[in-house]
Structure 1
Amino acid sequence: MNNMKNIEINGYSWPYVFSRPLQRQSQQLDSIRKQIIQFHEKIRGLDGGKMAALSSGQLFGLFSELDALGHLDLDEELCQYIFNDPKVHSLLPDIYSRYSNFFSLHERQLTEEILGCENPWGALETFSLYPRYESMIRDYVRSCPKVSTLAFLGCGPLPISLLLLGRLYGIHCIGIDSDPEAVAFATRCVKHFGLEDKIRIICGDESALSRLEWDSVMMAGLAWPKQRIFKNLHSMLKAREKKGLEKPASICYRDYTGMRQLLYWPVREEYLTGFKKTMSIQAERQVNNTLVFLECE
């Protein structure tokens, strides 16, 4: 058991584990805390209208600060110290909301740019986050090599994951999104990238899965509300079992772990009632999400 006490650094009380170098760890924690607070100061006045008025480059530049903080390589214990800090904890819901708005706006802006390009693949490959998607999809396919049809919940207007799965791995995909505008954009993207034979996009929520044929489901990191989605997905899987479907379904969701919990709500364990985790692929380097695989208990 660790012996712990609080130490004062710049007027703030940090918990300290005796086995760690006192000054170095404390200063690091205090610096990160300050950076999070300073970032929030920059974005708290940005409502939806003001954010929408920014260019794609301006949006990306602003939130790259949050991205850098989210990819700091800290152990779980130090991460929890930061997220349990009362001030940081109080800011998280607002940061999550604005990150979600940023992601949606930036994705739409990027979608419009790509739809205007004669060479969409060339444009997509120059996108700075493209290597992250490529790495995550490669890890997914290695873990589920027998998937033939993937249903993706929360595909968004630019379904990069589905485009890569269809083009690089020949996997048939169904993109599902509850936002009609995102569905319209995604449908145009699929046609623009020439993948109509591999990908189809439908408007709806997770309930649409009961009317579709699939052998794998992936849930986007920003899909919401996750508790309801997991509950309904579990009911559908049990119904499939009762019908005697022989082929088991592969279930995967994208989670935010470590310092990446600064970007969006992590999945809570109580949401996974009735499921058991079979494998996790931790986010490394610049990848945002940990891939978590499930099966029904």
Structure 2
Amino acid sequence: MLENIKSQLLAIFAECRHISDQQIIGDPQDVFYEQMETLNRLATLDVDDSQVDALVADNTLQPVIEKIAALKQIHALRLERQRAGAIIDSGDPWETLRGFVYYPNYLQLAEMECRGAELKAGDRVVFLGCGPVPLSLISMVRGHAVTGVGIERDPFNADLSRKVIERLQLGDSINILLGDHFTLPLSRPCNLVMVGADAIPKDEIFKHLARTLPEGMKLSYRIYEKGFRRLFDRDHVGGLPHPLKEYRRIRPEPPVNNTSVFVIKEGHG
């Protein structure tokens, strides 16, 4: 199986090595569609950790994995912008949102976040790197009665996100800010800072949060611990800087694949 996966990755790299980010985002035709279908099929394979480790350790695959991971991330943004447009233009935006294939996953992830951070109704959550459709915040606000702030560094994505929130009539509960990790801490306190997958670079982000957030603040992020998807974790969280300390992990149940990791800023005493 390992050689088969490697050969398919090399084939994707050969087909896409000259594709630019702008082509994926801007072309009317989805130039990465067939390759994503192949990657989605590979993600369903029962691949054990040792096989993934072997692929990660293969030096000849490093540029291949880096390129494919970058294209996957841009392609995901293309799809998310399309979903934002569908909600904004919909006559029934909530029905459109509930029709998204991954919406049930986000409902489960919202439950995991609220359980892991011990959130209660009225608590305030900040999501760093919320993207054009802040589904994590939407699911948590809708299902658990928290309030939220999304922080997005790309002006176009932030504008889409605001329009999505407006169409869903969640403006009283979710505020979208243009910014990055240096926007934190906010003037109003919060109960949890969620660091999104697209919030990078992770090492710099967590060092900043470790320096600036108040003692006792909880943070969370998501990882792939198992399977093929772990291969494309480009900007994983390394060792947490002092005084941040992991205190809990909630591992997923199907259809969710992400593990939620919870961190607290400890005191110096």
Question: Would the aligned equivalents of 1:255 and 1:289 in 2 still touch at CA under 8 Å?
Answer: yes
The Cα RMSD (Å) is 2.1
Change (3 A) 1:117 1:133: same
Matching residue within 75, 86, 92 for 1:119: 92
The residue correspondences of 1:1-297 to structure 2 (distance < 5 A) are 28-51=1-24, 52-55=26-29, 62-147=35-120, 148-212=123-187, 213-237=189-213, 240-241=214-215, 248-258=216-226, 259-270=228-239, 272-274=240-242, 275-297=244-266
Structure 2 CA distance, aligned partners of 1:62 and 1:157?
A: 23
Q: Work out the percentage of aligned pairs sharing the same amino acid.
A: 27
1:107 alignment partner AA: E
Cα deviations across residues 159-183 of structure 1 (Å, max 9, x unaligned)?
Answer: 1111111111111000001111111
- Structure index of larger Rg: 1
Question: Would the aligned equivalents of 1:216 and 1:251 in 2 still touch at CA under 8 Å?
Answer: yes
Structure 1 CA distance, aligned partners of 2:247 and 2:234?
A: 22
Change (3 A) 1:35 1:284: farther
Q: Secondary structure at the match of 1:253?
A: strand
- How many Å apart are 1:83 and its aligned residue? 1.5
Q: How many residues align?
A: 260
Cα deviations across residues 197-224 of structure 1 (Å, max 9, x unaligned)?
Answer: 1100111111222233211010111211
* Structure 1: 5+ residue stretches without partners: 1-27, 242-247
Q: Secondary structure at the match of 1:188?
A: helix
Q: TM-score, normalised by structure 2?
A: 0.88
Q: Secondary structure at the match of 1:254?
A: strand
Question: Would the aligned equivalents of 1:40 and 1:95 in 2 still touch at CA under 8 Å?
Answer: yes
- Large movers: runs of 4+ above 6 Å: none
Change (3 A) 1:285 1:65: farther
Cα deviations across residues 31-82 of structure 1 (Å, max 9, x unaligned)?
Answer: 22122222323332321333221456x7556423223323533332221012
Question: Would the aligned equivalents of 1:134 and 1:164 in 2 still touch at CA under 8 Å?
Answer: yes
Structure 2 CA distance, aligned partners of 1:211 and 1:268?
A: 23
2:74 alignment partner AA: N
Change (3 A) 1:92 1:45: same
Question: Would the aligned equivalents of 2:52 and 2:231 in 1 still touch at CA under 8 Å?
Answer: no
Question: Would the aligned equivalents of 2:133 and 2:161 in 1 still touch at CA under 8 Å?
Answer: yes
Change (3 A) 1:37 1:281: farther
Structure 1 CA distance, aligned partners of 2:108 and 2:32?
A: 24
